[in-house]
Structure 1
């Protein structure tokens, strides 16, 4: 799988999202309580820009007059027809068996690990250049597709 470095961790604070384009696909990256999740920015129902919808949660009511609000910020609502999807899994709450939105693996990697993993071996030549130590001290959100 190919890795795409989509943002630094501080670019997407908890409760927020960033919509990016990778390989012709529009994808929303969400920070839910410090964990990152990615879903396709296209509602399977009508093609709406799903990731531009409202983030919400669920209201549970075991008996009349009692309710709890759970999963705050984990459910995305389509801006056109209000279909709801789980940001963490892509599962639809309208039709969970047949309908879902594509989800992608998103994780956080340290900048120094990224710099080390992209290094290549070069053949030594006859010339010497002045070099400087470079380090990356941020964490990056990485999308694997």
Structure 2
């Protein structure tokens, strides 16, 4: 389905989503978290598939990549979100779990357009609530 066939929802002005910013909205009863990391906005269902823990509280990190024995290659810097409860890691670009390509979090298409952060949804957004979210993350 192309962007033109999806339902457009303006989330907030782009200046509200500075580097490291997080936003939480509820659309049709589903919580969607938004994060800006390395200049890119990501949007995902705010629920870990393991036990439903809110993913928006998780750290955004990189990870060690597959490599030869005794080689340690770090990659995917600020492209991984880690579940705050059990540490499950998901790629923010694809939603796929780092430990199993068969498991993922739902990702949503999000763009910066005309000074606004815009979310594209498969279903019409009938009920939208911007939720209070506060989180102090340590580096």
Q: TM-score range by the shorter chain?
A: 0.7 to 0.9
Asked whether the equivalents of residues 15 and 73 of structure 1 are also in contact (C-alpha less than 8 Å), the reply is no
1:105 aligned residue (98, 109, 113) = 109
1:144 aligned residue (95, 120, 130) = 120
Q: State the alpha-carbon separation in 1 of the partners of residues 76 and 19 from structure 2.
A: 14
Q: How many residues align?
A: 115
Provide the secondary structure at the position in 1 that maps to 2:56: helix
Q: CA RMSD in A?
A: 1.6
User: Is 1:34 the equivalent of 2:10?
Assistant: no
Deviation for aligned residue 1:6: 0.8
Provide the secondary structure at the position in 1 that maps to 2:47: coil
Q: State the alpha-carbon separation in 1 of the partners of residues 62 and 20 from structure 2.
A: 12
Gaps spanning 5+ residues in structure 1: where? 111-138
State the Cα deviation string for residues 86-126 of structure 1 (Å, max 9, x = none): 111111112212x111111001111xxxxxxxxxxxxxxxx
Partner of 1:95: 100
Distance 1:43 1:102, change over 3 A: same
Asked whether the equivalents of residues 26 and 41 of structure 1 are also in contact (C-alpha less than 8 Å), the reply is yes
TM norm structure 1: 0.71
